[in-house]
Amino acid sequence: MKQNKGAMPRGIKLRLKVFLYFAFFTAMILLILWLFQTMFLSDIYENIKLKELYRSADTVTANIESDELQSITESVARKNELCILVISPSGRTLASAEALNNCVIHKISYREHAKLYLEAKETGNSVLGRFRYDMQTGSFISVNDNSMTEEECMILTKILKNSNGEDITVFINSVLTPVGATVKTLNTMLLFITAILIVLAVTVSLIMSNSISKPIVKITDSAKTLSRGTYIPSGAKKSCREISQLSDTLDNVSLELQKNEALKRELIANISHDLRTPLTMITGYSEVMRDIPDEITPENLQIIIDESKRLSYLVNDVLEISKLQSGNITLNLEEFNLTEALRETVVRYEKMTEHNGNRFVFNYDTDVTITADKQRILQVLYNLINNAVTYTGADKTVFIVQRVVNKNGEKCVRVEISDSGEGIPQEALPYIWDRYYKVDKYHRRSQTGSGLGLSIVKTIIEMHRGAYGVHSTIGQGSTFWIELNEPTSTKANTE
């Protein structure tokens, strides 16, 4: 479909898209930072403190009867900034460590200790309390709400029994500092971070989109020149592998298109040349016979018939190859005796070329039946035998050999068609299977085939998943071969 000249292509620009992704990414990071730093900070802080408290309590209680209790208590207190007091039922201090200035458990009276002990007893041998220091009364009052505005302390009271069955009480005191000030600082920092991230997002997205979109725009521009038939390589900076691949692909496409264009021109020149020769002959001879009645001879009429046949062969070949290569052909598979088909073909050729003195030698090891498209396989054999007849040497002999060979552990049937002609130069061998390729471009064209024969052979054999090839020695002749898979049945040749 044609695109309107000034019409804007759909979709948003890459630059904007990259920027939007970055903006979204930045917004997400900021949101996460904000949530963690302001909303949840206090909860996370209290949680960490609580975990520390319980972990320390576990360490102390696990060593309650150890001789090292005092040093363990001190080390735990120092490490976690806690105050710890372990007392016996009689109020005797078993271990004590003070790593805080404003510690409560070391300041309160024995009575308060007893209160906490009783509370813990009631609530399953463990109780956690929160206290605030009252400056006016100089005492600690317990806090019940969760809003922390001033410094608070948390006391964990744990009761456990020693080996004598006596209650040992462990008090652990931790301090909670209000996070309000920290949140304020973090919020100010967050503002700075936001500004920096926005600048960074814009810069990085600009750099990224430039390094991606600019080369793409250049490549698109040069692709547009391709459609006009005047390709100018983009010369785009190959900032990444994909872009470099895209640019290379476009360059290759342009090369292929140029090659195809040249081929197309050559093809039209070839076909018109090949069509012109017989047409000129037919017109020429017909005019002569019209003007000079004496020239109406069987020989002249034969020339017209031969040239008309050549024309129809040529047109048939052109139609056949375009049909085959369009990919719309399905093989008409049937089981048939290949050896028999070869034998009949040879007999027909012998009759056809009787007057030329051509000789055909057919050898085979076994009688082979295969499943294939019989008409197309016959077409392959005709094309190869035709070429051998055309190019064979002075002895005018064509050798046809059919044998069953073992290929990668599988049986296949191989047909070889050899002539003793002038052979094909080594450098031309890879190209003879191409459409319209002729080794001797100038001398042979007017007298032989369309230049399509081997291309038809190649396409048909490939459709049958078979193999094909050629051996040729200059001055000695050529052997063309085809291989078809899995003969259905074989019967040894006893002749």
Report if residue 18 touches ligand ADP, rule: CB under 6 A: no
Pick from 17, 238, 438, 471: which binds ligand ADP (CB under 6 A)? 438
Whole-angstrom Cα distance, residue 430 to residue 206? 51
> Minimal CA–CA distance to 121: which of 157, 89, 165?
157
Starting at the edge strand found earlier in the chain, the sheet holding 477-485 runs: 359-364, 397-407, 410-419, 477-485, 467-473
Report if residue 455 touches ligand ADP, rule: CB under 6 A: yes
Q: Which of residues 391-410 bind ligand ADP (CB under 6 A)?
A: 391
Report if residue 419 touches ligand ADP, rule: CB under 6 A: yes
Report if residue 381 touches ligand ADP, rule: CB under 6 A: no
**338 vs 454, beta carbon nearer ligand ADP:** 454
For the chain, how long is the longest CA-to-CA vector?
Answer: 153
Whole-angstrom Cα distance, residue 26 to residue 23? 5
Report if residue 439 touches ligand ADP, rule: CB under 6 A: yes
**Beta strands 152-161; 139-142: pairing state:** unpaired
Q: Which residues, in sequence order, are bridge partners of residue 335? A: 371
Q: Which residues, in sequence order, are bridge partners of residue 401? A: 363, 416
Binding footprint of ligand ADP, residue count (CB under 6 A): 22
**215 vs 451, beta carbon nearer ligand ADP:** 451
Report if residue 478 touches ligand ADP, rule: CB under 6 A: yes
Range in contact with ligand ADP (rule: CB under 6 A) among 50-58, 92-100, 196-204, 453-461: 453-461
* CB of 253 vs ligand ADP, minimal distance in Å: 28
**81 vs 434, beta carbon nearer ligand ADP:** 434
Range in contact with ligand ADP (rule: CB under 6 A) among 48-56, 164-172, 303-311, 443-451: 443-451
First to last CA, the chain: 67
**158 vs 458, beta carbon nearer ligand ADP:** 458
* CB of 389 vs ligand ADP, minimal distance in Å: 9
Residue tagged 């100018």 (tokens): 232
Range in contact with ligand ADP (rule: CB under 6 A) among 26-34, 55-63, 252-260, 416-424: 416-424
Q: How far is CA 216 from CA 12, 223, 242, 244, in A?
A: 14, 10, 10, 10
Range in contact with ligand ADP (rule: CB under 6 A) among 100-108, 132-140, 206-214, 384-392: 384-392
Report if residue 148 touches ligand ADP, rule: CB under 6 A: no
Q: Which two tokens stand for residue 423?
A: 């052979």
Alpha helix locations (H) across 68-179? Answer: 69-80, 110-122
Whole-angstrom Cα distance, residue 333 to residue 377? 10
Report if residue 459 touches ligand ADP, rule: CB under 6 A: no
326 Cβ contact partners less than 8 Å away, ≥ 6 residues apart: none
Report if residue 318 touches ligand ADP, rule: CB under 6 A: no
Whole-angstrom Cα distance, residue 387 to residue 481? 13
What residues make contact with ligand ADP under the rule CB under 6 A?
A: 383, 387-388, 391, 419, 421, 424, 432, 437-440, 444, 448-455, 478
